Structure 1
Amino acid sequence: MNEIADRYRRRAETFEAKVAAVRPEQWSSPSPCAQWDARDVVAHIVDMHAVILGPLGRALSPAPSVKEDPLAAFRAARADIEALLADPDLAATVYDTPAGRMSAARHVDQVPSADLPLHGWDLAKATGQDATIDAEDLRMSWESVSGLPPDLLERFRTPGAFGPGVEVFGPEVEVAPDAPLQDRLLGLIGRDPHWTA
């Protein structure tokens, strides 16, 4: 449990720093996710935090909306998840998810925590920040995604397979087999590693 909490905290700190560095005029900048601007990237992350809390009968704490204050909205959502992970009973609660039954802590690790480095790349690319993904996060993401069975990977690429409007991965973007691991991961999840605004 501590490993999951520590990993989440580290990733959240990195993402929060990226949110804090966005200049006001950059929030409407396009992102590598075709339908999203920079603000939408943060909104998605905050929404995924709410997804974790729902099966526990909880909701995000009152906070400014992402439209009003993206940084404050993310900080509040982050605090809610850190409180969940700090409560052994809540963290160990098992419930149904689209990927099967698992504990709330494992769900955190597989969804919002795993999303933070990848959407951190999206936000960084949208706003001209360093888009380098942490080496350990890169390794873990690559092992997780490249190890998916082909049928599940295809389901992740199917819009709406996990709910209305939900698209986990886009169509694969071809990159050279000897490209850097970050480029290969991004291509596999449907991102163009060389995307520019």
Structure 2
Amino acid sequence: MGEIANRYRRRADAFDRKVAAVRPGQWDDPSPCEKWTARDVVRHIIDMHGVILRPLGRPLSDAPSVDEDPVAAFRSARADVEAILADPSLAGTECETPAGTMTLGEHIDKVPSADLPLHGWDLAKATGQDDTIDPADVAYHWTAITALPGDVLEKYRTPGAFGPGVEVFGPEVRIGQDASPQDRLLAFIGRDPQWSPW
């Protein structure tokens, strides 16, 4: 689990810095995710951390809510996930997921860990921060997403396919052929790389 834990830690560090840099008056600002504010982006990340704990029959640890203190809420949820990754017996627990049976560590890698760079971009765009995604994460996501079979990709683009109100990817956004790898990735998953709240 060393590689998965290190990747999670790097991504969580980057997301933490963005959450901590949000100014108090920005939490209700719109984000690139339609209907979500900056606070909602963090709420989603924390909720997905909670989903990961379900196979263990445990909730997230008691902490301030994202409405009270988004930074503390994220850091507490992060600590819960890192505790799993630090325990081989927990990280190796097999669980059923929409993508099939995998270990809890693998599920962390594919869901909350993978979410952090992309939703970090959402939060950065919503709050006027540097929206650069680590090139290693751009390459990681591009390889994983473009390898998806067509039927699976279509399911990812279908609202509600993974549950009521769940939208994974939006329709692909058309951009220029000379776009950067980051912009190509964002457009492929349904984000407008040029989105702005203003």
Tell me if both proteins adopt one fold, taking TM over 0.5 as the criterion.
yes
Question: Residue 106 of structure 2 aligns with which residue?
Answer: 106
Shift of 1:177: 2.6
The answer to whether structure 1 residue 48 and structure 2 residue 68 are counterparts is no
Question: Residue 94 of structure 1 aligns with which residue?
Answer: 94
Q: How does 1:146-165 map to 2 (within 5 A)?
A: 146-165=146-165
Paired residue secondary structure (2:131): coil
Shift of 1:42: 0.1
How high is the TM-score relative to the length of structure 1?
A: 0.99
Paired residue secondary structure (1:179): coil
Paired residue secondary structure (2:102): strand
Which digits, 9 at most, give the CA deviation of each residue in 1:30-77, with x for residues without a partner? 000011000000000000000100011111000010011100000000
Paired residue secondary structure (2:101): strand
Moved over 6 A (4+): none
Question: Residue 63 of structure 1 aligns with which residue?
Answer: 63
Question: Residue 128 of structure 2 aligns with which residue?
Answer: 128
Question: Aligned partner of 1:55: which letter?
Answer: P
Where structure 2 has 5 or more consecutive residues not aligned to the other structure, the ranges are: none
Q: How does 1:143-182 map to 2 (within 5 A)?
A: 143-182=143-182
Where structure 1 has 5 or more consecutive residues not aligned to the other structure, the ranges are: none
Shift of 1:178: 2.6
Question: Aligned partner of 1:177: which letter?
Answer: Q
Question: Aligned partner of 1:134: which letter?
Answer: D
Separation (CA, whole Å) in 2 of partners of 1:162 and 1:176 = 31
Aligned-pair identity in percent equals 69
Separation (CA, whole Å) in 1 of partners of 2:24 and 2:93 = 39
Separation (CA, whole Å) in 1 of partners of 2:143 and 2:175 = 17
Question: Residue 84 of structure 2 aligns with which residue?
Answer: 84
Question: Aligned partner of 1:12: which letter?
Answer: A
Question: Aligned partner of 1:4: which letter?
Answer: I
The answer to whether structure 1 residue 186 and structure 2 residue 168 are counterparts is no
CA RMSD of aligned residues (A): 0.6
Shift of 1:106: 0.2
Paired residue secondary structure (1:72): helix
Separation (CA, whole Å) in 1 of partners of 2:15 and 2:167 = 21
Question: Aligned partner of 2:196: which letter?
Answer: T
Question: Residue 21 of structure 1 aligns with which residue?
Answer: 21
How high is the TM-score relative to the length of structure 2?
A: 0.98
Question: Residue 6 of structure 2 aligns with which residue?
Answer: 6
